[in-house]
Amino acid sequence: MNTDLDDLLELSDFYILSQRFEEAIKVLKKAEKLKKLEPKIYYNLGIAYEVLSENDLARASFRLALKLKPDYKSAQEHLDRLIEK
């Protein structure tokens, strides 16, 4: 069971959709500490950082998501766009 992780990811989705990006980042940092190799943690982190224009952190997060899931299309699209910025 991944209940803790799932809860944290769900909460991060909620914070992102509520435009509370800093809170989403805090929750995702907690999820990261669970040491589960879940690409969505890094994808959501990338989204939150990108919205906040923290582009270096966003790029690093999308890269981590892609390392865990090389065919993560959305993460690749965001990374490509950020590299050309």
User: Residue 52 CA to chain centroid, in angstroms?
Assistant: 13
What residues from 21 to 80 belong to the interface with other proteins (CB under 8 A)? 21-22, 40, 43-44, 47, 50-53, 74
Residue type, position 48, single letter: A
Q: Using DSSP, how many helices (H) and how many strands (E) does the chain show?
A: 5, 0
How many residues belong to the site for other proteins (CB under 8 A)?
A: 17
**Interface pick for other proteins out of 1, 3, 17, 71 (rule CB under 8 A):** 17
For the chain, how big is the Rg over CA atoms in Å? 12
Residues that bind other proteins (CB under 8 A): 13, 16-22, 40, 43-44, 47, 50-53, 74
